[in-house]
């Protein structure tokens, strides 16, 4: 087993190099050896894909290798256990997309692809389609309006769900979260948040991928704050009404926001050091929550009343932000 794991290290490094400028130094012999590694690991995949102990050992080793290479290589593409089953096609795709590949090797690979009898041809076509889809996903910020339920976002959300379902199949919970984080980290933040929000708003909230997405959001406070700052209060209220974990995290986010504000005696208002966390926006967030379903309204009202009580239950303006917020909401 140790020999297989050592070979896995060398093979994943070979795949990484195939995406780098160092591929300019490859010759026909190097390419042939790389594809021999592919044949070997496709056999390993077929033999051990249902063998729990061996598969787990390989997945754990891949996790370590991926993290190491990701820190030393820019735009590194993580390798999963499932990738081993089609690694020959993946290597072809990496090489064909690498501008550093020599003309002679490019023409050689192109001639191989033109051979319809090659078993990897259909698989490569599938990978190319996935590549094209991922590029569309990455381009979302430049072509979409702010609406989180744009038809294109719905399509990309469905594609993301399907892809994550394939990538996380037969993994344990921690491995699934690691893979999900790996995939989403390759998408620009605002884009990723909008796609995730669309999935959570429109998908069956009992699916495994949906549960993973919720866990991914609430498990990291900083990540969740960025998520909230990127989306409208209407969308956030909708998500809070569907998921109790998001409701709690969202109310906690708003509580922290309110506690960071100070009363400006001269101007007679509550202020914050950042314009995006203004009094008006905080009030808008709570107003949206109070327009939601009864359970969400009750949770929001309870949170506001508890916060006011913690401040001393003052009824005078300018002493407790929560008193002032409740009065402003009542007037509106």
Q: Sorting pLDDT into bands at 50, 70 and 90, what band is 118? A: low
Domain boundary among 230, 265, 287: 230
Please tell me the predicted confidence (pLDDT) of residue 272: 83
149-179 tens-digit pLDDT: 566 677 778 778 887 888 788 788 888 888 8
Given a cut of 60, whether residue 138 has pLDDT beyond it is no
CA proximity to 37, closest of 84, 105, 95: 84
Please tell me the predicted confidence (pLDDT) of residue 137: 47
**Which CATH number characterizes residue 298's domain?**
1.25.40.490
The count of C-alpha atoms lying within 13 angstroms of the C-alpha of 180, restricted to the half-sphere facing its C-beta, is 25
Least confident of 196-205, 232-241, 293-302: 196-205
Given a cut of 90, whether residue 216 has pLDDT beyond it is yes
* Statement to judge: residues 332 and 238 lie in one domain: yes
* Statement to judge: residues 151 and 93 lie in one domain: no
* Statement to judge: residues 206 and 302 lie in one domain: no
185-200 tens-digit pLDDT: 777 768 889 889 998 9
SS3 for the chain is CHHHHHHHHHHHHHHHHCCCHHHHHCCHHHHHHHHHHHHHHHHHHHHHCCCHHHHHHHHHHHHHHHHHHHHHCCCCCCCCHHHHCCHHHHHHHHHHCCCCCCHHHHHHHHHHHCCCCCCCHHHHHHHHHHHHHHHHHHCHHHHCCCCCCCHHHHHHHHHHHHHHHHHHCCCCHHHHHHHHHHHHHCCCHHHHHHHHHHHHHHCCCCCHHHHHHHHHHHCCHHHHHHHHHHCCHHHHHHHHHHCHHHHHHHHHHHHHHHHCCEEECCCCEEECCCHHHCHHHHHHHHHHHHCCCHHHHHHHHHHHHHHHHHHCCCCCCCCCHHHHHHHHHHHC
Please tell me the predicted confidence (pLDDT) of residue 148: 43
In this structure, the number of other CB atoms found within 10 A of the CB of residue 275 comes to 8
Given a cut of 70, whether residue 209 has pLDDT beyond it is yes
What is the phi/psi pair of residue 156, to 5°?
-65, -35
* Statement to judge: residues 6 and 121 lie in one domain: yes
Whole-number Cα distances in Å, 191 to 128, 197, 328: 22, 10, 34
Highest mean pLDDT: which of 4-8, 91-95, 295-299?
295-299
The mean pLDDT of 39-53, rounded to a whole number, is 89
Please tell me the predicted confidence (pLDDT) of residue 92: 85
Please tell me the predicted confidence (pLDDT) of residue 103: 86
Please tell me the predicted confidence (pLDDT) of residue 306: 94
Q: Name the percent of the chain lying above pLDDT 70.
A: 86
Please count the structural domains in the chain: 3
Please tell me the predicted confidence (pLDDT) of residue 300: 96
Q: State the Cα–Cα distance between residues 124 and 89, nearest whole angstrom.
A: 5
- Domain of 187 in residue numbering reads as 146-230
* Statement to judge: residues 193 and 283 lie in one domain: no
The pTM for the full model equals 0.59
Q: Sorting pLDDT into bands at 50, 70 and 90, what band is 132? A: very low
Domain boundary among 230, 251, 274: 230
Q: Sorting pLDDT into bands at 50, 70 and 90, what band is 121? A: very low
* Statement to judge: residues 127 and 248 lie in one domain: no
């Amino acid at each position: 087993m140790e020999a297989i794991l050592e070979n896995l290290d060398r093979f994943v490094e070979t795949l990484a190099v195939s995406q780098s400028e160092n591929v300019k130094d490859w010759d026909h012999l190097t390419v042939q050896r790389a594809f021999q590694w592919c044949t070997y690991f496709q056999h390993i995949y077929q033999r051990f894909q249902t063998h729990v102990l061996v598969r787990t050992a390989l997945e754990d080793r891949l996790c370590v290798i991926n993290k190491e290479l990701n820190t030393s290589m820019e735009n590194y593409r993580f390798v999963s256990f499932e990738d081993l089953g089609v690694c020959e096609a993946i290597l072809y795709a990496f090489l064909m997309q690498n501008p550093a590949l020599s003309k002679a090797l490019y023409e050689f690979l192109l001639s191989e692809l033109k051979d319809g009898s090659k078993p990897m041809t259909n698989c490569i076509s599938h990978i190319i389609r996935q590549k094209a889809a991922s590029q569309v996903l990455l381009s979302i910020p430049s072509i979409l309006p702010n609406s989180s339920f744009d038809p294109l976002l719905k399509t990309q959300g469905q594609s993301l769900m399907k892809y994550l379902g394939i990538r996380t199949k037969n993994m344990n919970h921690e491995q699934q979260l690691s893979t999900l984080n790996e995939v989403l980290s390759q998408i620009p933040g605002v884009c990723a948040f909008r796609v995730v929000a669309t999935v959570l708003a429109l998908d069956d909230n009992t699916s495994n991928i949906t549960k993973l997405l919720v866990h991914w959001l609430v498990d990291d406070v900083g990540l969740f704050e960025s998520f909230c700052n990127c989306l409208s209060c209407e969308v956030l209220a909708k998500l809070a009404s569907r998921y109790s974990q998001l409701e709690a995290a969202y109310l906690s986010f708003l509580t922290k926001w309110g506690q960071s504000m100070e009363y400006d005696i001269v101007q007679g208002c509550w202020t914050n050091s950042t314009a995006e966390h203004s009094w008006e926006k905080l009030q808008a967030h709570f107003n949206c929550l109070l327009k939601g379903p009864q359970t969400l309204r009750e949770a929001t009202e309870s949170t506001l009343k508890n916060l006011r009580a913690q401040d001393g239950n003052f009824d005078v303006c300018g002493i407790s932000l929560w008193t002032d917020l409740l009065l402003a909401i009542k007037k509106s």
